[in-house]
C-alpha cells in the first residue's frame, strides 16, 4: 500500500463527495490530502506540486465536472512529462461501459463507481500500488 505520507489529490466538483473521500482516506491514515473543485484546478495543483518539488503520489478524480472533466484531466496528466506513471483513480457515478473503456484507453489505473466504501477504495489503491510496483520491477 502507498506510504501514509503520500500526497493525494482529490478532484470532484461536489464538496460532499470530496469530504467523503477525505474521510475514507483519513480512516486509512492518509493525511496529506489536497482538494480541487474541478479538473482545471486539479491540473494547476499538480503543476504547482511539480514546480515546488512536492509532487502528488496519487490522484482520485470524478468524471463530470465544470471547466475540465476528469477524462480531460487524465489526458493532460498522461500527456505531461511528469504524469505518465502517477497513479490515477477515477471515482465517479459514470457507469457507462464506453466511459470505462475510454478511461482505460487513456491510461487510468482504476475505476470505482459511486457510491463507494472505504474497503473498495483501499482495495483499489492496493491493487494499483501492487501493479505499479510489478511494472517497476520488470
Instruction: Give me the pLDDT at residue 137, please.
Output: 81
Grouping H, G, I as helix, E, B as strand and the rest as coil, residue 26 is helix
Q: How many helices (H) and strands (E) does the chain have?
A: 5, 5
Of 62, 37, 58, give the one whose Cα is nearest residue 115: 62
pLDDT averaged over consecutive 10-residue blocks of the chain (138 residues)?
96 97 97 98 98 97 96 98 96 95 97 96 97 85
DSSP state of 29: T
Of 11, 6, 25, give the one whose Cα is nearest residue 121: 25
The pTM is what? Answer: 0.97
The C-alpha cell that represents 46 in the structure block: 499538480
Q: What is the distance between the terminal CA atoms of the chain, rounded to a whole angstrom? A: 19
Residue with cell 473521500: 21
DSSP state of 98: H
Instruction: Give me the pLDDT at residue 136, please.
Output: 81
CA distances from 8 to 5, 21, 61, 105 (A): 9, 11, 10, 23
Question: CB-side exposure of 23: number of CA atoms within 13 Å?
Answer: 8
The C-alpha cell that represents 56 in the structure block: 502528488
Amino acid at each position: 500500500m502507498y506510504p501514509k505520507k503520500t500526497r493525494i489529490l482529490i478532484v470532484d466538483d461536489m464538496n460532499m463527495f470530496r469530504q467523503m473521500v477525505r474521510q475514507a482516506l483519513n480512516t486509512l491514515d492518509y493525511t496529506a490530502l489536497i482538494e480541487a473543485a474541478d479538473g482545471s484546478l486539479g491540473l494547476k495543483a499538480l503543476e504547482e506540486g511539480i514546480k515546488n518539488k512536492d509532487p502528488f503520489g496519487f490522484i482520485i478524480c470524478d468524471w463530470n465536472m465544470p471547466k475540465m472533466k476528469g477524462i480531460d484531466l487524465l489526458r493532460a496528466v498522461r500527456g505531461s512529462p511528469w504524469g505518465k506513471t502517477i497513479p490515477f483513480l477515477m471515482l465517479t457515478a459514470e457507469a457507462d461501459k464506453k466511459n470505462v473503456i475510454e478511461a482505460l484507453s487513456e491510461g487510468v489505473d482504476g475505476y470505482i463507481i459511486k457510491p463507494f466504501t472505504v474497503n473498495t477504495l483501499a482495495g483499489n489503491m492496493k491493487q494499483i500500488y501492487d501493479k505499479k510496483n510489478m511494472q517497476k520491477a520488470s
